[in-house]
Amino acid sequence: MRHTFHLKTLAVAVATLSVASVASAAGLDRSGQDITAFLQDGTYAEAVYTYIDADVTGHDNAYVGSDNKAYTQGKKIDDIAESYDFFRYGVKTDINETFSVGVLYDEPFGAAADYTGNNNFVTNDDADALIQGFTGNLGLNEGLVDQNITDLKGALAPGNPGNFSPEQLQEFQGQLIGLEAAKGLAATAGETTQVEVRTESITGIFGAKFGQNKEFQAYGGPVAQRVQADVKLRGTAYSAASGYTTHINPDQDYGWIAGMSYSKPEIALKAALTYRSEIKHDAKAFEVFPIATAAGARAGLALPTTRYADIEINTPESVNLDFQTGINPTTLVTAKVRWVPWSDFAITPSLYNDVSKVSTQDDDGLALVSYDDDQWQVELGLAKRLAPVLAVSGTVGWDSGAGNPVTSLGPTEGYYSAGLGAKYNVTENWAVSAGGKYLWLGDAKGQIPNKAIVSDFESNDGFVLGVKVSYQAQ
């Protein structure tokens, strides 16, 4: 006689098993793009709230020299990782014994970092000092810069009766460019390096079961995704790029999802392999780069200080493997594996890229954000039913990170994690789950796009808290 495991009471109890933050997961990964809501039996709905807080501190680089890889511990960098929260929703239903439909919402990718304190990622709050540093300590202040700009514009005005030679006019033009760049840099006095990236995705899924006992299911559907971003680079860590700002307007584009699952209810076995396509966003970016015009003038190029132009951002493809099986009538083991090719990802605003071509003498220039390695994420769990209405679970996890050194806008290399949670069945159909996860964040050195080391972050950690309300009827 076969024992039938009751999936309803064996369901994993934690709402946050696959959640990770930009302060811990590789690249910009946040939600893990979980689709297990669609794999539930019957009619199912869930609402998940997740709160993530990480402590990411380190030191800037005090090394002075030409070796980009050299590092000397400098000034302390206080916690740069901003806490954040987000929601995830899912609903699915079986049309009949063969076909199912569902809709999922999540916030798959993101970043939230803010440098504060006295370090190389914060601009000097003395505007006159910034001007003098940029102009070679000529004793200029904001008032003198404004007056000189007015005088130079007057001298260069069409029809000006001044008897200036072509050589003098060219020199005036160069001086004007330099002073306007200095004025733009001075406007960033006291500002800090910041980054915020947000995405939202809605996934529609249609599934069809097949096999002798309907044990197989093929599923797929469209994905609508919205992305927006803001980045400020400030301080001497970014050298000539200090003062750069970009705002990437919200953009919505589309991709797709496809997968295959297998189930064996007698032993509570479920396995699913899911592929998500990359999504190409053709957005608009507004950039401000105080020294762009000066850099362009030195190279004989007409580079503006501001630009509003197209930018292409391709959020990466991914593969998720979800697995669970009962090992006895009250115990369930789970495994999740996720792969994301972050080495193919880059954010490359056009003005930033054009200025970097001047500084690197390379026709390809630099991306504002990029990664060297792909992400692998693994999580193992064990759930135990203690009573007909109560189950508890624990997990351990590992994330490979996306390289080390890594971008200074997210300077950690993956994590190790441990989590605990519980699920309580309030009624036959309604359940509440709650859980937490502790993260040991990997040490990493921060680098800027030209691969120069600018910081070092060690011995950091974080935590994840989550709660889920779910409904299921069969």
19 pLDDT more than 50: no
Radius of gyration of the chain (CA): 27
pTM to 2 decimals? Answer: 0.89
Tell me what pLDDT residue 204 has: 97
- pLDDT at residue 171 is higher than 60: yes
pLDDT for 297: 65
Taking the C-alpha atoms of 140, 121, 249 and 112 in order, what is their torsion angle to the nearest 10 degrees? -160
Separation CA 198–CA 313 (nearest Å):
13
Q: Quick one: pLDDT at residue 163?
A: 74
Q: How confident is the model at residue 282 (pLDDT cuts 50, 70, 90)?
A: very high
Q: For residue 253, give the nearest of 275, 288, 278 by alpha carbon.
A: 278
Confidence of residue 57 (pLDDT cuts 50, 70, 90): very high
Does the pLDDT value for residue 22 go beyond 50?
no
Instruction: Give yes or no for residue 286 having a pLDDT over 80.
Output: yes
Rounded Cα distance, 354 and 363, in Å: 9
Single-letter code of the amino acid located at 104: L
| Per-residue pLDDT reduced to its tens digit, 354-387 | 888 888 888 888 999 999 999 999 999 998 888 8
Q: Which residue did the predictor score with more confidence, 241 or 255?
A: 255
The neighbouring-strand residues paired with 406 are 446
Mean pLDDT over each residue of the chain, to the nearest integer: 86
Q: Are 353 and 360 in contact (CB under 8 A)?
A: no
Its CATH class, for the domain covering 7-123+190-473, is mainly beta
Which residues, including other chains, have CB under 8 Å from residue 378's CB and lie 6 or more apart?
335, 336, 337, 338, 397, 398
pLDDT in tens, 61-77: 999 888 989 999 999 99
pLDDT band at 300 (very low <50, low <70, confident <90, very high): low
Instruction: Tell me: pLDDT of 211 over 90.
Output: yes
> What is the pairing mode between strands 318-328 and 331-340?
antiparallel
Are 416 and 440 within 8 A, CB to CB?
A: yes
pLDDT band at 298 (very low <50, low <70, confident <90, very high): low
- Give yes or no for residue 430 having a pLDDT over 60: yes
Contact 43, 98 (CB under 8 A): no
Q: Is the pLDDT of residue 41 over 70?
A: yes
CA 269 to chain centre: 33
What is the pLDDT, as a whole number, of residue 15?
31
pLDDT digits (tens, 9 = 90+) for 329-338: 888 999 999 9
For the stretch 113-145, pLDDT in tens is 899 989 999 998 877 777 777 777 677 777 787
Residue found under tokens 């608009």:
284
pLDDT of the residue at 161: 66
Q: What share of the chain has pLDDT > 90, as a percent?
A: 51
Q: Are 350 and 289 in contact (CB under 8 A)?
A: no
In three-state secondary structure terms, 243 is: coil
Coil, strand or helix at 428: coil
Among residues 151, 153, 162, 78, the alpha carbon closest in space to that of 121 is found at: 78
Task: Evaluate whether 120 touches 37 at the Cβ level (below 8 Å).
Answer: no
Give the chain's largest Cα–Cα span: 107
Amino acid identity, position 11: A
Residue with the larger pLDDT of the pair 213 and 156: 213
Strand (E) positions, 193-268? 194-210, 216-232, 245-264
Predicted local distance difference test score (pLDDT) of residue 18: 38
Per-residue model confidence (pLDDT) at position 6: 47
11: pLDDT strictly greater than 50: no
**pLDDT for residue 10:** 45
**Is beta strand 406-407 parallel, antiparallel or unpaired with respect to 444-447?**
parallel
pLDDT at 12: 39
Q: What percent of the chain has pLDDT over 70?
A: 92
Tokens 């811990």, located at residue = 24
Mean pLDDT for the stretch of residues 184-199: 87
pLDDT of residue 152: 76
Does the structure show a pLDDT above 90 at 29? no
User: pLDDT at position 409, please?
Assistant: 85
pLDDT for 16: 32
The confidence score (pLDDT) of residue 153 equals 76
